[in-house]
Structure 1
Amino acid sequence: MQNTRSNNLKLAEKGVWVSIFAYIIISVGQITLAQLTHSASLKANGFNNLTDILGNIAILIGLRIARIPADNDHVYGHWKIESIASLVSSFIMFFVGFEVLRETVLNIITEKEETIDPIGALVAVISALVMLAVFFYTNRLAKATQSHALLAASKDNLSDALTSVGTAVAILAAVIHWSWLDKAMALLIAGFILKTAYDIFKDSVFSLSDGFDETLVEQYTQAITRAPKVKHVKLVRGRTYGSNIFLDVVVEMSPDLSVFESHAATEYIEKLLIDQFDVYDVDVHVEPATLPENEHYASRALELLAKEEKLLNGSDLADLLTPNFQEIAENGALLTREMKLQASSNLSVLTESNFAIQAYHAQQVSKKTFILTYDYLEQQKRIRVTSIWRRNDEWLCLYRQLTPHL
């Protein structure tokens, strides 16, 4: 898992490099032509792309550091550096966004008017097509590598493509003496920069402050509830380190399970979450569940009596006998579980009216073991029954002995 995640981050770096090269070419071209064509919106778009170079460099550094393996000082690895890099990128975008906004507002206040060359529109359209192609590449790569940092960069690529289209529209409008629209689009581009910066900032802070999607918690809880041996899901707590999800899970299981059985159940839960939801690391803690029998001691003997009546009637034997069940019949023969089930399938099921249970006594020898004794009459013949019932998640009969009553 460690190697796979590291390889994904290494692959994500390719997307960042593509964005950086595209931004260098586009930003230099747009800022240079903006000075020649006197287009405020083209200049604003050029500075927007310039910030993306700095932001992508921060993301690239973050991806490099995030791939460093865990050590004594970073037992969970360096994955959070990816979120820190995104946070730094958002700060850079905030700074430039406010700078573009400030300059545009000053131009509006001073009513500064300059002749705008329509060639700037062609540059903006070309920039939009380039950034749209970069967006499709980085977005696909971000989903394949599960890199949140690259996904944020791809969203910025799409934003740049849209703002470039807006820039082209503004320049063409200014050519026909709607210069106010050029400044209006500059304001809109500044707004896009600030909005994208805010979204990246919000997602980064959410991850760094251990925020977690409640919808995912609900999905995990439903999946764990259906896992074998789980009585109740007490807690699911998640946090993210970069694109990696770490979970703490607390479940309640029967107190009668052995350590081996409980451990096997926790491993099943861990594998379920890793395979089905691509969770990076899961820590499962088991607590004893409160079983109904622990709360109703007085009714336990009656519950076991009802199960004994089913045994006498030969019904539901598969659900009442342990795998290693043994019974000594009244003639001294030893019957196993398989022999008992076979005998029951060959005989017609008797009704409860054929038996008259007398002298029923239930003795609890431990929290999960009962010894039952009673007599029953069958065709004027009295038979003494001694049976041992043991709880292992459910109450099952372990041993029975039938003795003719003298």
Structure 2
Amino acid sequence: MTDKKYVRVRNILICVLVLNWAVALAKILYGHITNSLSMFADGLHSLSDGSSNIIGLIGIFIASRPKDVDHPYGHRKYETLISMAIAMILFFIAFNIIKRSIVRFIHPEFTRVDPLSFIVMFVTLFINVAVMKYEYTKGKELKSDFLIADSYHTGSDIFASISVIASLISIKMGFPIADVIAGFIISLLICYVGVDILKHSSRVLCDYAVIDVKEVEEAISDMPGVIGCHRVRTRGRLDDIYVDLHITVDKDMPIKKAHELSTSVEKRIRNKFSGVTDVIVHIEPS
């Protein structure tokens, strides 16, 4: 991660952190005052957003370090590793919400619903939508695994807030059990987001193919001197892709010309696919 990118991602996270904690504070305090389990649970979820922002700031700081002897490929995967930490936080929060929901189901408590309850939820919902859209857009623009993962985390807040609003309406209509049901729904949504983050992050850490093999083959098939292309492999993050491939050339091609051809192949792939960090071309005689 370049210094410029690190500064941009850091500034985005600080901005999102402030908003997340403001939203969390509003939900937790008013959820506690009104004894609303669903609102309190949603507040904890928002609080986890802020916690993940702090973890993210630490992660991208490490990921921004330059390559060294012990890390010849750089430190960028630390950002992906931190994304998995967010998933673990989500699972922990989901577990605690489920536990509170079970206790509330066994021992029902009165939940107060007033106009301010709806105002708090609608205002925080609007903030969550704005934060998610902003963070996801910037994550795609900067090709940041963490920002994209964190936007999904914030996105789960939106669905959670909608379920809380629905539960408040149900409680107002005389169905207090809706508060417990909403708590369960929120926990399931949180688990779903956690699984999605784990799936994406594990692909990067387990060297899942990033670029389709056929696309790479088609990109260099028309290059003069290239007879064939095979054993194409790609791995890495969207902003840090490593490509290696074998190309077949005329058996009588001079070494110097073969080297120039491999350099041209590397440039073609870098120009064709964004985010490519390194290309290794193995020359084989026909």
1:205 aligns with 2:202: yes
Alignment partner of 1:260 out of 251, 256, 259: 256
Aligned length: 284
Question: 1:73 is matched with which residue?
Answer: 70
Give, in whole Å, the separation in 2 of the partners of 1:7 and 1:220: 30
Q: Could you say what the CA RMSD is over the residues aligned between the two structures, in angstroms?
A: 1.6
Give, in whole Å, the separation in 1 of the partners of 2:214 and 2:14: 37
Match of 2:174, SS state, is coil
Unaligned stretches of 5+ residues in structure 2: none
Give, in whole Å, the separation in 2 of the partners of 1:168 and 1:114: 17
Question: 1:251 is matched with which residue?
Answer: 247
Give, in whole Å, the separation in 2 of the partners of 1:58 and 1:174: 37
User: 2:111·2:176 contact (CA, 8 Å) conserved in 1?
Assistant: no
Q: TM-score, length-normalised on structure 2? A: 0.94
Give, in whole Å, the separation in 2 of the partners of 1:9 and 1:238: 25
User: 1:135·1:155 contact (CA, 8 Å) conserved in 2?
Assistant: yes
Identity %: 26
Aligned-pair distance for 1:115? Answer: 2.7
Question: 2:141 is matched with which residue?
Answer: 144
Give, in whole Å, the separation in 1 of the partners of 2:104 and 2:216: 54
The one-letter amino acid paired with 1:64 is F
Aligned-pair distance for 1:6? Answer: 4.0
Aligned-pair distance for 1:43? Answer: 0.9
Aligned-pair distance for 1:166? Answer: 2.0
Q: Deviations over 1:138-182 (max 9, x none)?
A: 112111111111111112222212221221121122111122222
1:7 aligns with 2:8: no
The correspondence of residues 46-85 of structure 1 with structure 2, limited to 5 A, is: 46-85=43-82
1:271 aligns with 2:267: yes
The one-letter amino acid paired with 1:120 is S
Alignment partner of 2:110 out of 88, 91, 114: 114
Aligned-pair distance for 1:121? Answer: 2.3
Give, in whole Å, the separation in 2 of the partners of 1:159 and 1:131: 9
Q: Deviations over 1:312-347 (max 9, x none)?
A: xxxxxxxxxxxxxxxxxxxxxxxxxxxxxxxxxxxx
Question: 2:185 is matched with which residue?
Answer: 188
Question: 2:234 is matched with which residue?
Answer: 238
Question: 1:176 is matched with which residue?
Answer: 173
Match of 2:156, SS state, is helix
Question: 1:388 is matched with which residue?
Answer: none
Unaligned stretches of 5+ residues in structure 1: 290-406
The one-letter amino acid paired with 1:84 is L
Q: TM-score, length-normalised on structure 1? A: 0.67
Question: 1:20 is matched with which residue?
Answer: 17
Give, in whole Å, the separation in 2 of the partners of 1:273 and 1:285: 14
Question: 1:222 is matched with which residue?
Answer: 218
The one-letter amino acid paired with 2:219 is A
Aligned-pair distance for 1:72? Answer: 0.7
User: 1:212·1:238 contact (CA, 8 Å) conserved in 2?
Assistant: yes
Q: Deviations over 1:86-131 (max 9, x none)?
A: 01111111111111112112212x1413132233222111111001
The correspondence of residues 284-299 of structure 1 with structure 2, limited to 5 A, is: 284-289=281-286
Give, in whole Å, the separation in 2 of the partners of 1:283 and 1:246: 8
The one-letter amino acid paired with 1:236 is V
Give, in whole Å, the separation in 2 of the partners of 1:169 and 1:137: 26
The one-letter amino acid paired with 1:93 is L
Match of 2:227, SS state, is strand
- Structure number with higher strand proportion: 1
Match of 1:280, SS state, is strand
- Structure number with higher helix proportion: 2
Aligned-pair distance for 1:241? Answer: 4.7
> Once structures 1 and 2 are overlaid, which stretch shifts more, 83-92 or 232-241?
232-241
Q: Deviations over 1:30-77 (max 9, x none)?
A: 111111111111011001111111212111111111110001111111
Name the structure, 1 or 2, with higher relative contact order (CA <8 Å, separation 6+): 2
Question: 2:150 is matched with which residue?
Answer: 153
